[in-house]
Amino acid sequence: MTNHAIESAAKQTPDGLARRIRGLSDRAIAWIFVAPTIILLLAVNIFPLIWTIRLSFTNFRVNRPNKDVEWVGLRNYERILSDSDIWNTMQATAHFLIWTIVLQVLIGFTLAYLINKKFKGNDLWTTIIVFPMMLSPAVVGNFWTFLYQPQIGLFNYAIAFFTGADPASFSMIGDVHLAPWAIVIADTWMWTPFVMLICLAGLRSIPDSIYEAAECDRASKWRQFWTITIPMALPFLMLAVLFRGIENFKMFDLVVQLTGGGPGNTTTLTSIDLKREAFERWRTGYSSAYAVILFVTVFGLASIYVKALNKVKER
């Protein structure tokens, strides 16, 4: 804003208000600026969290608002933590979480390492690799459903080409042993570019002078990789793991579109199960307790992870 614009705005401020503002301390003015954000955060984040915790101790059902709400204490938590179906859901989530992170970090870092080398068509390849990340999860889910079709799916034909098996002899989505891997592959295809971009930022932040110094000391490429590249890119790698970990713990849309949680419950992740409890069976109190358990788990994990990340950055 130019001085003239500021002066004209000041002139337009009513005398009474201007006098009142002039009388405020710096601290009070700072609070006036920060207050809208704090109020918004309280209304949008903190209040629903507290309300959810409160509901988790009741038998409230949102589809029966006129029914008396009973305080059930810890009963919802007891039921969730002794339910073997939810236990299986946790295991399915763990399988999905561990394998997607491992594959995405390995492939993402490798791609970033290759893209970081200067070659012709570098930018074009970056754009092509990043493309899956730009698609909507619903589109990717549909797209992979077709790829996994036993009769017409390209994925089955590619596997058949390499293994010699009949493409119609296996169904990635319909088989209880293959379906968990089907969602891992689709998520890895979609989100590896994201990990690659973060790793690429990390690799590009390493000054060339460090490698030049290592060359002068006759350090081999292998040694340079383990003692320069990996330690200096580690904070970025950890950041990528944090983002993907939190995101995949909440994974919903892609898996619902791809398998719908089936066959049976083999790909029912916690977020899918939670949605069913809350909005299909309408057990609001019960699902609130479920949500609190997931929240505490993610919050706890994120806390120790951020601490570890800060330690790595301090080194």
Partner 1 sequence: MTDFINGLLGFRRGPWEMLASILIALGVVMLMQPFVLWLYSYSFVVTLVGTVMFVIVSHFRE
Binding mask 74-103 for partner 1 (x = CB under 8 A): ---x---xx-x--x--xx-xx---------
CA distance 302 to 160: 41
Residue 264 found at the interface with partner 1 (CB under 8 A): no
CB of 14 to partner 1, least distance (A): 45
CA distance 50 to 28: 28
Residue 304 found at the interface with partner 1 (CB under 8 A): yes
Q: Which long-range contacts (CB under 8 A, 24 or more apart) does 197-201 make?
A: 197/112, 197/130, 198/108, 198/236, 198/237, 198/239, 198/240, 198/243, 199/108, 199/109, 199/111, 199/112, 199/113, 199/233, 199/236, 199/237, 199/240, 200/112, 200/115, 200/116, 200/126, 201/236
Residues 104-143 that bind partner 1 (CB under 8 A): none
Query: Which residue's CB is nearer to partner 1, number 173 or number 293?
Result: 293
CB of 82 to partner 1, least distance (A): 6
Residue 299 found at the interface with partner 1 (CB under 8 A): yes
Residues 157-216 that bind partner 1 (CB under 8 A): none
Query: Which residue's CB is nearer to partner 1, number 88 or number 126?
Result: 88
Q: Which stretch binds partner 1 (CB under 8 A): 28-36, 150-158, 232-240, 291-299?
A: 291-299
Binding-site residue total for partner 1 (CB under 8 A)? 18
Query: Which residue's CB is nearer to partner 1, number 12 or number 84?
Result: 84
Query: Which residue's CB is nearer to partner 1, number 24 or number 81?
Result: 81
Interface residues with partner 1 (CB under 8 A) are 77, 81-82, 84, 87, 90-91, 93-94, 293, 296-297, 299-301, 303-304, 307
